[in-house]
C-alpha cells in the first residue's frame, strides 16, 4: 500500500464539455471526486494525499473560471471541514498561498490551524503551486544560509534540498495518478516524484471515484519497485 499518493486531477473541462455543461460544473463534480478519494484513502490506509488543485499556470485562465474555482474551494472547505475533524485529518497547502484571494486564504489558514495537530492522515492541497518555483525558493533559502554562515557549501546534500521545500517532513509520493490520459508532469512535484510509480488513466477526474482509485492501488501493488537496484 502506498503511504503517499499524489494526484493530477485533470479532465474536468472535457467532462463538462462532453455533457454540454459549463466548465465549472466539471470542477464542482470534481470536488465530489475529491471527497470520494479522501474517504477511500482512509479506508485503504493511505496516510498522505496530495492534490494538484490549482497550478501557478492556471492563473492565465479566464477570470470567471478562476473566480468559480476559488469560490468552489471556499465552499468545499466550509462543507467538508467537519469531516477532517471527525477523521483526525490534517489539512496543509503547498504553493504560493499568498497569491490566493483573501477570503479563500483566510478559510484555508483557519482550517489548517484547526487541524494542525491531527495525525490520522494528511490532505495536502497544491494551490498556486509550481514545482520549479518551489525549487527556486528552496535554492534562495539555502543560498541565504550559506551567505549568513549557518550552512557550508560542502554540507549541501539531497536532504538539504528536500528540507527546504514547502512540506519538508512529508515523505515523497509512492504513487502519482493522473486522470484524463495526459502523459505529463505539468510542473508537479518534480523533485519529490523521482522514484514514484506513475499511473495514468483515461477517466476524467469527475468520474474518478472509489472504484477507479482501487484500480490504481491494485496496479501499484503489482509493481516491483527497485529504486535503481537489480533485485
Ligand atoms: C483540471 O481540469 C482541474 C483543475 C484545474 C482544477 C481542479 C479542481 C477541482 C477538482 C475542484 C475542487 C478541488 C478541491 C480541492 C475542492 P481542467 O479544467 O484542466 O480540464 P480540461 O483539461 O479537460 O480542460
All domains in the chain, ordered by first residue:
4-130+173-220 (3.40.1180.10)
Cα–Cα dist 231/53, whole Å = 37
What is the band of 93 on the pLDDT scale with cuts at 50, 70, 90? very high
CB neighbours of 75 closer than 8 A, spacing ≥ 6?
none
* Mean pLDDT score across all residues of the chain: 97
Q: Kindly give the distance from the C-alpha atom of residue 12 to the centroid of ligand 1, in angstroms, as a whole number.
A: 5
Q: What is the rounded average pLDDT of the residues 158-166? A: 98
Q: Whose CA is nearest to atom 8 of ligand 1?
A: 53
**pLDDT bracket for residue 205 (50, 70, 90):** very high
| pLDDT of 225 strictly over 80 | no
Backbone φ and ψ for 8, nearest 5 degrees, come out as: -95, 105
What is the Cα–Cα distance from 187 to 134, expressed in whole angstroms?
A: 10
**What does pTM read for this prediction?**
0.97
pLDDT for position 113: 98
Q: Mark residue 20 as left, alpha or beta (left: phi above 0; alpha: psi -120 to 50; beta: remaining).
A: left
Pocket test for ligand 1, best of 30, 62, 76 (most atoms within 8 A of CB): 30
Amino acid at each position: 500500500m502506498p503511504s503517499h499518493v499524489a494526484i493530477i486531477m485533470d479532465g474536468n473541462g472535457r467532462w463538462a464539455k462532453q455533457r454540454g455543461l459549463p466548465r465549472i460544473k466539471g470542477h464542482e463534480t470534481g470536488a465530489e471526486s475529491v471527497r470520494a478519494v479522501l474517504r477511500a484513502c482512509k479506508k485503504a490506509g493511505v496516510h498522505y494525499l496530495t492534490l494538484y488543485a490549482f497550478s501557478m499556470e492556471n492563473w492565465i485562465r479566464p477570470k470567471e473560471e478562476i473566480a468559480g474555482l476559488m469560490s468552489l474551494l471556499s465552499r468545499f472547505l466550509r462543507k467538508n471541514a467537519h469531516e477532517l475533524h471527525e477523521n483526525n485529518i490534517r489539512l496543509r497547502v503547498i504553493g504560493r498561498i499568498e497569491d490566493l484571494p483573501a477570503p479563500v486564504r483566510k478559510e484555508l489558514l483557519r482550517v489548517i490551524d484547526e487541524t494542525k495537530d491531527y495525525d490520522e492522515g494528511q490532505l495536502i492541497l497544491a494551490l498556486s503551486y509550481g514545482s520549479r518555483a518551489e525549487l527556486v525558493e528552496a535554492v534562495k533559502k539555502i543560498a541565504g544560509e550559506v551567505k549568513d554562515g549557518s550552512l557550508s557549501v560542502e554540507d549541501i546534500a539531497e536532504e538539504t534540498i528536500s528540507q527546504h521545500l514547502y512540506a519538508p517532513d512529508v515523505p515523497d509520493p509512492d504513487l502519482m495518478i493522473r486522470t484524463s490520459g495526459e502523459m505529463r508532469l505539468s510542473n508537479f512535484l518534480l523533485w519529490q516524484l523521482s522514484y514514484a510509480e506513475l499511473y495514468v488513466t483515461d477517466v476524467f477526474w469527475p468520474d474518478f471515484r472509489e472504484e477507479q482509485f482501487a484500480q490504481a492501488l491494485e496496479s501499484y501493488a503489482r509493481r516491483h519497485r527497485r529504486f535503481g537496484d537489480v533485485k
